Amino acid sequence: MNSIILAGGYATRLWPITKDRAKPLLPLGGKPILSYILDELEALKEMEKIYITTNERFESSFKDYLKDRDEERYKLIIEKQGSEEEKYGAIGGILNALEISGGSDHLVIGGDNYYSFEIKDFLDFASKNGGIVNACFEVESLEEAKNYGIADFDEEKKIFDFQEKPEEPRSKMASTAFYYFPENILEIFEEYIDYWEGKIPREKYLDEPGRFLAWTSDRYDCYAYPFKGVWADVGTRQGYLRAENEVREKNILRGSISESEIGENVTILEGSKIRDSKIENSLIFCDCNIESSIIKNSIVGECTDLKNIDLREGLIERYDE
């Protein structure tokens, strides 16, 4: 079995902190988001190779990150693109990686998501069903469900209906970027592209996982793996802060703090110095200097200096007064 980690996006909604840093390598609960996934994958005896697909901008970042791991188990796949507009898309990235990884059962995982279930349990479920499996999480309301691909399934967990961002959701089970594809049906990706080519713009069918799942569930056996606990899609400032709050059990205070008031839901990472400031519900990256400032509901990127700043609901990096 092989794994494909999707990490090819530019995460423009989190700029500037992701302008030169891949979203899967952002810290979450004190360690890179991607590390939660890779730590589990490395522990699986059946996992032969782990492919990480990303773009040219972040190639060196991932190479540096993988130096601390068993590099022989990993292969970095670089998508040749110059901008967000030229990206392969989720489906295009999977197909590109499959051409390199060859025949095998595959896990396909969004590298910028946090999942609280055990991957081994997911694989046990997949082996019993023999078809395509998608991890699904029950969101809180039908209103929230409008923002996701929504799966409806029977008592055997077989998907019989899939809606992409529906106006009237028939379920609250949201599709997450975590899939299992058995080797004997990997040709579905080529079939899918052949079906849509010429009918709709290429970017639509290459970058819409919901469209792919809706098409696939009508033609193949697809199953939902419902899980409880935490699922975090780190895509916006609000989503990032929510994920940070869900992952950590208490404040993470690794920097130097003096004469300051630290409220709830705060992470301050190594090397940061906080003096005479108030911080609440915020994430402070490494090596920041914050003095005489108020930081609330905000994210402060690496090596940022702030003095006499009132930052509320902000996203900032390397700002000098």
User: Euclidean distance between the first and final Cα of the chain, in Å?
Assistant: 52
Q: Which CATH architecture best describes the domain 2-238? A: Alpha-Beta Complex (3.90)
Question: Which H or E run contains 164?
Answer: strand 159-164
Torsion over CA: 154, 156, 157, 162 (sign): negative
DSSP string, 148-161: SEEEEE-TT-BEEE
What is the identity of the amino acid at 182? P
Using DSSP bridges, classify how beta strands 289-291 and 273-275 pair: parallel, antiparallel or unpaired.
parallel
**CA–CA dist 315, 160 (Å, integer):** 41
CB 178 within 8 Å of CB 111:
no
CB 163 within 8 Å of CB 147:
no
Phi and psi of 301, rounded to 5°?
Answer: -75, 175
**CA–CA dist 26, 203 (Å, integer):** 27
**CA–CA dist 270, 274 (Å, integer):** 11
CA distances from 143 to 24, 139, 230, 239 (A): 28, 9, 19, 17
Enumerate the domain spans of the chain. 2-238, 251-316
CATH number of 251-316: 2.160.10.10
Q: Tell me the residue length of the chain.
A: 321
What is the identity of the amino acid at 185? I
Report CA dihedral (141, 146, 148, 153) to the nearest 10 degrees. Answer: 70
List, in order, residues 6 or more apart from 135 with CB less than 8 Å away: 115, 117, 122, 176, 178, 179, 224, 225, 227
The per-residue pLDDT of the chain, averaged, comes to 90
Closest CA to 23 of 82, 118, 110, 119: 110
- Count CA within 13 A, CB hemisphere, residue 249: 0
**Using omega within 30 degrees of 0 as the cis cutoff, is the peptide bond preceding 24 cis?**
no
What pLDDT shows up at residue 286? Answer: 96
Q: Strands of 305-307's sheet, edge to edge?
A: 256-258, 273-275, 289-291, 305-307
Strands (E), 259-304: 261-262, 266-268, 273-275, 278-280, 282-284, 289-291, 294-296, 299-300
Torsion over CA: 259, 300, 52, 177 (sign): positive
What pLDDT shows up at residue 88? Answer: 65
DSSP string, 203-239: HHHHS-HHHHHHHHHTTS-EEEEEE-S-EEE--SHHH
Closest CA to 6 of 45, 65, 62: 62
Q: Which residues of the chain have pLDDT under 70?
A: 81-88, 319-321
What pLDDT shows up at residue 85? Answer: 52
What pLDDT shows up at residue 297? Answer: 97
